Amino acid sequence: MQYVALFHKEKNGFGVTFPDFPECTTFGENLDEAVDQAHEALALYLELYQEKGQQLPDPTGKKVALGLPENKGAKAINVSVTGDGSDFEEFEVTMHSHLLSRIEKYCREYGASPADFLASAAREGIKSDIFAD
């Protein structure tokens, strides 16, 4: 299924809202991060939404969402999600135990999970194009 995500330019990045789920919001420091966060936030939100037995609404179209006065200047994309938890994938990572210990220590200090840390590191690596020649 697809739902519209609206991206609003803010002082330090992009706020993301979903017309069909006003309680679901997220943020990204840049547009790429905001798009990643939109997919993750909506997938988690819909999973909880359906666990509560709530019926999913019909998606609002992009043109309709962008036509509302409160969305003037926003950018919109369709976010595809399953909403059943299968949007997230587990995978195995092999790394030296010393590096893993450093990551775990860092995550404990900041209250983050190693998965969140690795996702953030991946976004930064892609943004910086770290393997470019």
Sorted by where each begins, the domain ranges of the chain are 1-87, 90-133
Q: What is the mean pLDDT of the chain?
A: 92
CA dist 17 and 97 (Å) reads 39
CA dist 67 and 23 (Å) reads 20
- Per residue in 51-109, pLDDT (tens digit) is 888 888 999 999 999 999 999 999 999 999 887 778 888 889 999 999 999 999 999 99
More confident residue, 82 or 25: 25
Q: What topology is assigned to 90-133 in CATH?
A: Arc Repressor Mutant (1.10.1220)
Q: Which of 10-19, 42-51, 78-87, 120-129 has the lowest mean pLDDT?
A: 78-87
The C-alpha R_g of the chain, in whole angstroms, comes to: 17
What is the chain's length? 133
| The pLDDT of residue 10 is above 80 | yes
Task: Please list, in sequence order, all residues whose beta carbon lies within 8 angstroms of the beta carbon of residue 60, skipping any fewer than 6 positions away.
Answer: 3, 4, 19, 20
1-87 maps to CATH 3.40.50.10470? no
Amino acid letter, 10: E
CA dist 117 and 2 (Å) reads 27
How far apart, in Å, are the Cα atoms of 44 and each of 40, 41, 64, 116, 132?
6, 5, 25, 14, 33
Q: Helix crossing, 31-51 with 114-128: angle to 10°?
A: 150
Mean pLDDT across the stretch 27-50? 93
In which band, very low, low, confident or very high, does the pLDDT at 1 lie, cut at 50, 70 and 90? confident
| The pLDDT of residue 41 is above 90 | yes
In which band, very low, low, confident or very high, does the pLDDT at 8 lie, cut at 50, 70 and 90? very high
Give the whole-number percent of the chain exceeding pLDDT 90.
77
CA dist 1 and 18 (Å) reads 14
